[in-house]
Amino acid sequence: MLKVGLTGGIGAGKSEVSRLLVECGAVLIDADRIAREVVAPGTPGLAAIVETFGEGVLAADGSLDRPRLGSLVFADPDKLAALNAVVHPLVGARSAELEAAAPEDAVVVHDVPLLTENGLAPFYDVVVVVDAALETRLDRLVRLRGMTEDDARARMAAQATREQRREIADVVIDNDVPLAELRARVKDVWADLERRARAA
């Protein structure tokens, strides 16, 4: 099994790359999706978040109001750390379960947005960083995700810098390109990952 850590700044196109890697044959473990599962209504994770941040972070239907929680934590490092202390151990445990269930010869791609920030690079055989210029990322966040420019800049500022991410990368996928070109780049990376998996 080859354990791959996939990361990239918000708006860099990491989700698209993970989707393309799955098309190639990767087993995907998506930390964001797991992070949503572990704080679903009725979970101990959601109860712990309410205990930490109060009932104000709940939507009318009892689910987590992610935008409201996001606006609380992204501007406050202490609150962000408190949230991470609740969510990260739960995500780690579930990720380990899913990895253990993957075939022995699999290329397992862990899609981890905060891989750099949380010092997780040593836990993977290969770290792949999806990178794009700040202007490209800002445009995607505003145009495609409907964020305000201020909110987009705040989210980007709360993450590691491009330089910090590139420093831990074994492979960098530059994503300032059209989808067809990105697809070709991902296929090249996949061929490299398969080679590494066979060698391992």
- Number of neighbouring beta carbons within 10 Å of residue 183: 15
118-154, pLDDT tens digit by residue?
899 999 999 999 999 999 999 999 999 999 999 999 9
User: What sections of 43-133 are H helices per DSSP?
Assistant: 44-53, 66-73, 77-100
Average pLDDT over residues 106-129: 95
Residue 165: the pLDDT is 97
- 35 pLDDT exceeds 90? yes
Average pLDDT in the chain: 95
- 111 pLDDT exceeds 90? yes
- Smallest CA-to-CA distance from 75 within 173, 156, 158, 194 is with 158
Domains and CATH numbers, the chain: 1-26+106-200 (3.40.50.300), 39-104 (no CATH)
Strand ranges for 47-191 from DSSP E: 107-111, 126-131, 171-174
39-76, pLDDT tens digit by residue?
999 999 999 999 999 999 999 999 999 999 988 898 89
**How far is residue 137's CA from residue 131's CA, in Å, rounded to a whole number?**
9
**How far is residue 186's CA from residue 18's CA, in Å, rounded to a whole number?**
9
Sheet holding 27-30, edge to edge: 27-30, 107-111, 2-8, 126-131, 171-174
- Smallest CA-to-CA distance from 73 within 60, 84, 61 is with 84
165-194, pLDDT tens digit by residue?
999 999 999 999 999 999 999 999 999 999
- 158 pLDDT exceeds 90? no
Q: How confident is the model at residue 19 (pLDDT cuts 50, 70, 90)?
A: very high
